[in-house]
């Protein structure tokens, strides 16, 4: 079945460091790919998305590129801030499906 594998956490970085959180997926066809973020005490929020190969999703300085050849959708940010501390989830929606399939999440802590 469809699945998403994320880089295990927790990840701790200093402010202004470069961030990469790896995400790979298994799915048939052409899924849509997402990154969701969960701040402490809040619900899941869509951070960015990509719906076809080579698309780049971007939002709030975060970027991820849909790589069909490596079945990956790695999340990157050039300079993280303390306010980026949260749990990040990679997810997919299979072609024609309604449900989201999530990875296990990566907890990110940014120290000042």
Contacts with another protein, residue ranges (CB under 8 A): 4, 32, 36, 41-46, 49, 51-52, 89, 91, 93, 98-105
Residue 43 or 112 having the CB closest to another protein: 43
d(C-alpha 94, C-alpha 100), whole Å: 8
Report, in Å, the least distance between residue 112 CB and another protein.
26
Residue 17 or 68 having the CB closest to another protein: 68
Report, in Å, the least distance between residue 30 CB and another protein.
10
Residue 16 or 60 having the CB closest to another protein: 60
Report, in Å, the least distance between residue 51 CB and another protein.
5
């Amino acid at each position: 079945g469809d699945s998403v594998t994320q880089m295990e956490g927790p990840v701790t970085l200093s402010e202004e460091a470069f961030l990469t959180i790896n995400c790979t997926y298994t799915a048939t066809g052409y899924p849509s790919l997402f990154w969701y973020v969960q701040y402490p005490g809040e619900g899941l929020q869509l951070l960015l998305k990509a719906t076809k190969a080579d698309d780049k999703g971007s939002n709030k300085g975060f970027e991820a590129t849909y790589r069909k050849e490596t079945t990956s959708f790695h999340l990157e940010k050039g300079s993280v801030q303390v306010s980026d501390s949260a749990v990040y989830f990679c997810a997919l929606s299979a072609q024609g499906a309604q449900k989201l399939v999530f990875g296990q999440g990566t907890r990110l802590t940014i120290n000042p």
